[in-house]
Structure 1
Amino acid sequence: MFKELPIDKVLPELRDTLGTHTRAVLVAEPGAGKTTRVPLALLQEPWLQGRKLLLLEPRRLAAKAAARHMAGALGEQVGETVGYRVRLETKVSARTRIEVITEGVLIRMLQHDPFLEEAGIVLFDEFHERSLHADLGLALCLEAQGALREELRLLVMSATLDAAAVSTLMEQAPVIVSEGRSYPVETRYVPPARPEERIEQTAVRVIEAACRDEEGDLLVFLPGAPEIRRVEAALADRIRTMGVRIAPLYGMLAPQAQEAALRPAAPGERKVVLSTPIAESSLTVDGVRIVIDTGLMRTPRFSPRTGMTRLETQRVSRASADQRRGRAGRQSPGVCYRLWSEAEDRMLREHRVPEMAEADLAPLALELAAWGASDPAALRWLTPPPAAAYEQARELLRQLGALDAHGGLTAHGREMAELGMEPRLAHMTLRAIPLGLGEAACELAALLQERDLFRGPQGAADGDIRQRYGALQAFIRESQTGRSQGADDAARRRVVDEAAQWKRKLGLGREAARGAEERCGLLLALAYPDRIAQSRGDGRFLLSGGRGAVFAKTQSLSFAPFLAVAELDDQGTDSRILLAAPIAEDELYACLEPSMVKESAVYWDAQARNVRARQRVKLGALVLKESVWAKPDPESVLAALLEGVRAEGLGLLTWSKPAKQLRERLSFMHRHTGGGAHGWPDVSDEALLATLEDWLAPHAYGMKQREELQRLQPGALLEGMLSWLQRQALETHAPTHWTVPSGSRIPIDYSDPDAPLLAVRLQEMFGLQQTPLLAEGRVPLVLHLLSPAHRPVQVTRDLASFWRDAYFEVKKDLKGRYPKHVWPDDPLSATPTNRAKPRV
């Protein structure tokens, strides 16, 4: 007989709802029993008509645990009424009615059978985790239900879920709420003792205190397996003497070790489970009364800017923190230690950011293309795919040959989708088969899809993936002899099994080709054509995607001419290379020649100050080959020359003093008498640089070098911009010189177009009553009246006023300083002179 659980109270309502509706939402608190009770309760419903129930779980471990629990409740073995399908492992039979599957498996089932003929209902468990596959699975199921299978039931379940939003998405589906049964849990905030204390140190300290002060088993949430191993090592000698068993729990752990963590502690024993967020939901860890929560989780985050995904450690949401806290109160009153402050707790976001908003969308774009919906707007989403990230994903698929120019799925793309790998790795594997490297590609793909399992202590800092591949081959050989490789044996075995599964699917042999280790670079180049790295000669690299890259420390690959890079950290100006392999230049041509661009480039070399003509072979931002282009197009040479002038300025030309004055005179006339189509030309730097094609190009045709440009006469080029009438008017209204009363021709300074200046000795102006006017009588000359020694004595624009008001004061001063000169009382009737006294 089943033990009563809180979910049992709402099962009649759930059955009635699904009898009259094809969509529903179930909200049940942690420990209510929804994962294992709901499928069993629906098994005999008439609307099923003998079809299967598909229960989706976000993780393999949760799927297998749920299947075992339900099978045990029926007194059966897994694979009879209840079975499961997860990656690399299937336990079902002809009798199986309940299939517990992971979300990726559902996508494959939908792609092969959009009707889901064998299924009567799909249950989405722990939907609050908002994985990419769960969102996609629900969108595809809604599409299939609406267009193909109206009678198909969909049930979305979670403990912490925005039920109203999901109900709206499912066209106002009924919401059923189970209050659950949770015992009181005391919450204690224990932030790090000092700012520099690592989270593992804080966890160890709190675990020791809890073991002393509290009763019951402990569940400790840590962000990942590395932290689990460090905490386990620190606790090894401290609490085992207290009769405490340490039980790690994470996805890549051996199944036996996972089951040991879930089992109740033996009589007289206490258990400390060190877990990743895998135990946050779905799984029940028996005997737990104490939860220690670091408040951290590790999530993949995709950068559209760089096209790379990296794992980031970040704070959990409030919903996740409450889920974790609830684990302490599932079977009895408990206590939860939160390793952060109450102030930090108030700042937690309410819900987890959907993976859709942060993940690489290339797998999603490939699945939608295979489904026949290249535009995601054709489906209903709780969180639509971000437009920029989705378009970048489609561009990658086009580069890999999965999509055609119109966005349709190619035959190669369909093969990629069928394979079920990450798109880059699927492309690599399929393209490797004709090269005789299919088996090696399957092994390398399995190696890349898992964490760095084959990173030995001696090669810990080395990013050469060939070392990992070699270690994998050694592991395979040792496994065949029955030798064990240590703590990571089960995880490594999973890599081998995954590679073997893909080999079988593709009809390949079991053994990789000899020498495959040295072809890793070629295989990586197929998967990551945007991450080909070319040495810059100083230990740094330029990626074909345009970014810089470098190894953290000098190592074996630091000075390789070319690398194919599998993993970077996406930090700083130059990303740090984490995993790569060398690739020969001829291998680049062999695998990526269709992506290479052959271009003829004519450009201005700023350092040499001349036009260069080159023919190049480029792969993205990389220049693989470059040679001199002997006979470039003359128009291209001229265009490059003009661009050089624009870049470096008009100083590339030789401006004589008359040429400079001509520019100034033209600027003066343009300013004061008007420009426009029929007026005076604008000869400012900006205008001249913008119109090089008009005034300079006809005279620079055939030139390549600065020396040739300097032989041009800019003054003559500017004169060529004027009509005959303008040239005559220029001499009249903006002359180069002014003839003063003494007969001297004095140059006019036009450097200030608002104040053209004439510097002349005072005595040479005797007899001139009015200030000379320029620009058709619009602008008076600024007169700098000088002493006989050419020193300024007066500046004026009004000569008549000077003679009338200021001359006599100036005369007194000058007569004392220059007594030999004539200083008449009436300057307007005096004879002008450029000497001490006028000539007789």
Structure 2
Amino acid sequence: LAARACAERMAQSLGESVGRTVGYRMRFDSRVSSATRIEVVTEGVLTRLLQGDPALEGVAALIFDEFHERSLQADLGLALSLDAREHLAPELRLLVMSATLDGAAVASLLGDAPRVSAPGQLHPVETRYAGSGPPALPDAAGAGAQHAPERLVSQLILRALREERGDVLAFLPGAREIRRVHSSLAAAQLPAGVQVLPLFGDLPGEQQDAALAPASAGARKVVLATNIAETSLTIPGVRVVVDSGLARRASFDPVSGMSLLTTRRISRASADQRRGRAGRLEPGVCYRAWSEGAHPSLAPYTPPEIVDADLAPLALELASWGVRDAAALRWLDSPPAAQLASARQLLERLGALDDGGRITAHGREMARLGAHPRLAHMLLRARSLGQLPLAAQLAALLTERDLLRGIAAASDADIRTRLEILRAEEGAPVTDRPALQRARRAARDLERQAGGQSAGGRDQGTVGDAGPLLAFAYPDRIGRARAGGDGRFALANGRGAAFGSPQALARRELIVAVDLDDRERDARILLAAPLERRDLSEHFAERLRWRESVHWSAREQAVIAQRTLELDALTLEEKPLAEVPAEAARRAMLAGVRELGIEALPWEREARDLQARIEFVRAAAGAAETGGGAWPAVSDAALADTLESWLAPWLEGITRREHLSRVP
């Protein structure tokens, strides 16, 4: 959205159409020509351009705008650009622009580059605080609470329409909240001539254009936007801002290997950026949904995405660049070591890196696709199996917004339902139609990028094959049902997961969970597909292993000797050992006695009395310093420490707690 709007604005200032002097290039859309001198590109496209031509032949300058947003791709793009400039393109000029970033740190990163200050002509903006504390997070306010974020924003918008003139720009954390506020305002008595328009990245282009266009004569406009409108866009007519104080942000847990999208409070720098939107054209007003006293408690700056993002895409790009040590590049904030190590482990598992951390031929092809490494691996494996159309459709479903809405989405976690909607001539009534259109387009583009042709009338693959393909992308999230049949699963990464509501998939033995909410002890499964045993033996045979174990089971109160079939941390099958090694059984039983305590042994009164007398004599002899060490230590603790020397010989054939009564 920002790239297209920026290109259109510059082209308009030249009196030209986009694609002549000024063009744009993004993943699935570009408008450039041989006459294009200025290209506005997304950060991901810049990475692809650098990887394809590190010297950037024909490029005189790179401009990084709004760098304070500190996206992962922006940090990577700047690091690669600096490396290219140092080794391949010394004449390449780099310009980093930001309204709020610490200029000294960036100048130092660029080699003490000169700093140019260009003060804008912002008009004064009056700030009106309207909350009773910090911005209210969704978890802190029930859906029906008077101070729920969307309810307060709706009230502030209505207040702004009464108190002020001009158009209103309201900032909300995501599309879900935008729809709720839109519905709330639709049910309210809005003044005549007020139009409410959404604005977020997944909207169709014509709806985005409508939100960015000036209001018609005599009308007023209320734009409900995510933080996409925070810095990159100027919306004509806006002189009032309503700020929820919230934004959506993804964070990655390297232990679980899962990303979680959470709603968080914005920083003071972000709040200032939003406030400034009201003063672009004339003096304005900013309504903040928090108290003035709580404002200093907000973080001063938004943390860069690199510190808590999934680094698998970055790790693949570094390997493709030929860098095995991230410290070889210059960063404003270096990638965290734990996240980077986790990312490289995943890439090794997907076959993108070899044991030495070098990129493989498979990894280079994955990087060329530009999709997340998990999905790129799935696409390439599917291509070799003749199932590329199906894999492209699955990848599109996972990268676009859910096709189902509301209760329908929550009550059906089966991705095959979405796949059937994607393929159907007419979507279900609960379908998010804009998302459906984008997913269909993305599927065609992904298939083409992976070396296929648009499926058209060709065989698109069987919906039932979704599970095995998704398991290529998420081998660590293959799950087996736990005992009880209540929808709880153990995953191959060692974690637990469960469906949040009754599901047909909950009755399956094997699934692959592709979307999880990891905020609870057992992650909630949001999207999954079924698997069969034959899928694992056919496609994951190299990761399956039989293991023999003899151990004490606290639950069974017995020695368990079994042969288990395992996929990483997931147990798929258990069989009792036909013959149990005597020494292994003895060691396991000793562990059981230690766990139970030696009081579980069949002590007679005389034995306990003897034990007490020996301990008394030891203590007395030790106090008199007459050689108490000659008496053996026979306390319960001492006996537990020396079970091997005195109990082990008597454990022949003893494998259960009740068998201990046979110990002489």
> Do they fold alike, i.e. is TM over 0.5?
yes
Aligned-partner SS, 2:235: coil
The alignment status of 1:140 with 2:85, answered yes or no, reads no
Query: Within 2, Cα distance between the matches of 1:255 and 1:337?
Result: 29
Query: Once the two structures are superposed, what CA deviation does each residue of 1:189-232 show, in whole Å capped at 9, x if it has no partner?
Result: 12279963322222222222222221111111111111212222
Aligned length: 647
Query: Does residue 222 of structure 2 align to residue 272 of structure 1?
Result: yes
Query: 1: CA distance between counterparts of 2:342 and 2:618?
Result: 51
Higher RCO (CA < 8 A, seq sep 6+):
2
Residue 465 (structure 2) pairs with residue 519 (structure 1): yes
1:624 aligns with 2:624: no
Aligned residue in 2 for 1:68: 8
Kindly report the root-mean-square deviation, in angstroms, between the aligned alpha carbons of the 2 structures.
2.5
Q: Secondary structure at the match of 1:421?
A: coil
Greater mean deviation of Cα atoms: 613-622 or 587-596: 587-596
How far did residue 599 of structure 1 move? Answer: 0.6
Normalising by structure 1, report the TM-score: 0.73
Aligned CA distance change for structure 1 residues 122 and 708 (closer, same or farther; 3 Å): same
Q: Please give the secondary structure, in 1, of the residue aligned with 2:411.
A: coil
Among candidates 182, 204, 211, match of residue 232 of structure 1 = 182
Distance 1:406 1:687, change over 3 A: farther
**What are the residue-to-residue correspondences of 1:741-756 with 2, within 5 Å?**
none
**Alpha-carbon displacement from aligned partner over 1:149-174 (angstroms, at most 9, x marks no partner):** 22221111011111111122222221
Comparing 194-203 with 363-372, greater Cα deviation is found at 194-203
The aligned residue for residue 152 of structure 1 is: 92
Task: Give the corresponding residue for 1:687.
Answer: 638
Name the SS for the 1:343 alignment partner.
coil
Equivalence for 2:450: 506
SS in structure 2 of the partner of residue 558 of structure 1: helix
Contact 2:254–2:338 (CA under 8 A) maintained in structure 1: yes
TM-score (norm 2): 0.92
Match of 1:90 among 18, 30, 33: 30
**Residue number among 311, 334, 359 corresponding to 2:261 in the alignment:** 311
Judged with a 3 Å threshold, the aligned counterparts in structure 2 of structure 1 residues 689 and 407 are, in CA distance, closer, same or farther, namely: farther
Q: Quick one: distance in 2 between partners of 1:348 and 1:705?
A: 60
Read off the aligned partner of 2:578 and give its amino acid letter.
A
Matches within 5 A, 1:291-330: 291-330=241-280
* Kept in 2: contact 1:192–1:202 (CA 8 A): no
1:428 paired with 2:378, answer yes
Q: What amino acid does structure 2 have at the position aligned with 1:687?
A: A
Deviations 1:774-830 (A, max 9, x none): xxxxxxxxxxxxxxxxxxxxxxxxxxxxxxxxxxxxxxxxxxxxxxxxxxxxxxxxx
Distance 1:676 1:690, change over 3 A: farther
Q: Measure the CA separation in 1 of the matches of 2:630 and 2:348.
A: 54
Q: CA deviation at 1:695?
A: 3.2
| Residues in 1 aligned to 2:446 and 2:192: alpha-carbon distance in whole angstroms | 47
Bigger Cα Rg: 1
Q: Report SS of the residue matched to 1:471.
A: helix
Mapped partners of 2:631, 2:111: distance in 1: 71
Classify the secondary structure of the residue corresponding to 2:505: coil
- Equivalent residue, structure 2, for 1:366: 316
Distance 1:431 1:690 in 2: 54
From 569, 581, 599, give the equivalent of 1:633: 581
CA distance in 1, matches of 2:585, 2:407: 57
Q: Alpha-carbon deviation of 1:148?
A: 2.2
Deviation at 1:614, TM superposition (A): 0.6
Letter in 1 for 2:655: K
Displacement of 1:119: 1.6
Q: 1:614 matched to which residue of 2?
A: 562
Q: 1:671 to 1:413 in 2, by over 3 A?
A: farther
- Counterpart position of 2:478: 532
Q: For residues 477-626 of structure 1, what are the structure 2 equivalents within 5 Å?
A: 477-478=425-426, 488-511=432-455, 513=459, 516-536=462-482, 537-626=485-574
Secondary structure of the equivalent of 1:119? Answer: coil
The alpha-carbon distance between structure 1 residues 73 and 693, as it changes in their structure 2 partners (threshold 3 A), is same
Distance 1:207 1:709, change over 3 A: closer
Query: How far is the alpha carbon of 1:530 from its aligned partner?
Result: 1.7
AA in 2 matched with 1:124: F
Which residue number in structure 2 is paired with residue 470 of structure 1? 420
The amino acid across from 2:308 in the alignment is: E
CA distance in 1, matches of 2:284, 2:363: 52
SS at match of 1:350: coil
Match of 1:161 among 92, 95, 101: 101
How far does the alpha carbon of each residue in 1:220-279 deviate from its partner, in whole angstroms, 9 at most, with x for none? Answer: 111111121222222236466511222211111111111111111122221111111111
Aligned to 1:723: none
Output the CA distance in 2 between the equivalents of 1:601 and 1:164.
60
State the secondary structure of the residue aligned to 2:366.
helix
Change beyond 3 A, Cα 1:505–1:607: closer
Q: 1:633 to 1:430 in 2, by over 3 A?
A: farther
Whole-Å separation in 1 of the counterparts to 2:8 and 2:440: 25
Aligned to 2:598: 650
| Letter matched to residue 232 of structure 2 | S
Match of 2:46 in 1: 106
Structure 2 counterpart of 1:413: 363
Residue identity (%): 51
Deviation at 1:461, TM superposition (A): 2.1
Contact 2:410 2:526 in 1 (8 A): no
Letter in 2 for 1:541: F
| 1:387 lines up with 2:387 in the alignment | no
CA contact (8 A) 2:402 2:435 kept: no
Q: Please tell me whether the aligned partners of residues 362 and 423 of structure 1 are also in contact (alpha carbons under 8 angstroms).
A: yes
CA contact (8 A) 2:390 2:461 kept: no
Shift of 1:456: 7.4
Q: Is the 8 A contact 1:436 1:513 kept in 2?
A: no
**Residue 30 (structure 1) aligns with:** none
Q: Distance in 2 between matches of 1:514 and 1:155?
A: 46
| Contact 2:43 2:77 (8 Å CA) reproduced | yes
**Ranges in structure 2 where 5+ consecutive residues have no aligned partner:** 134-140
Q: Does 1:448 align with 2:403?
A: no
Q: 1:465 to 1:114 in 2, by over 3 A?
A: same
Does residue 128 of structure 2 align to residue 188 of structure 1? yes
Change (3 A) 1:562 1:485: closer
Name the CA shift for 1:651/1:432 in 2 (closer, same or farther; >3 Å).
Answer: farther
Question: Is 1:697 matched up with 2:648?
Answer: yes
Measure, in 2, the Cα distance between the counterparts of 1:223 and 1:456: 17
Contact 2:620–2:628 (Cα < 8 Å) also in 1: no
Asked whether the 8 Å contact 1:401–1:410 carries over to 2, the reply is yes
- Distance, in Å, in 1 between the alignment partners of 2:598 and 2:431 is 71
Shift in CA distance, 379/92, structure 1 to aligned 2, threshold 3 Å: same
**SS state at 1:233 partner:** helix
Deviation of residue 652 (structure 1)?
Answer: 4.1
Q: Which amino acid aligns with 1:75?
A: G
Shift of 1:300: 0.9
Give CA deviations for 1:520-557 in whole Å, capped at 9, x if unaligned.
Answer: 22222222122222222233222222232222221222
SS at match of 2:402: coil
Is 1:218 the equivalent of 2:168?
yes
Q: What is the one-letter code of the residue matched to 1:688?
A: L
2:203 pairs with 1:263: no
Q: 3-state DSSP class of the match of 2:506?
A: coil
Q: Secondary structure at the match of 2:101?
A: coil
Of the structure 1 ranges 521-530 and 436-445, higher mean CA displacement relative to structure 2 is found in 521-530
What secondary structure, in the 3-state scheme, does the structure 2 residue paired with 1:342 have?
coil
What is the CA-CA distance between 1:414 and the residue it aligns to? Answer: 1.9
The residue matched to 1:388 in structure 2 has which SS? helix
Amino acid at match of 2:597: G
Secondary structure, counterpart of 1:178 in structure 2: coil
Q: Point out the more displaced range, 332-341 or 653-662.
A: 653-662
Change (3 A) 1:708 1:324: closer
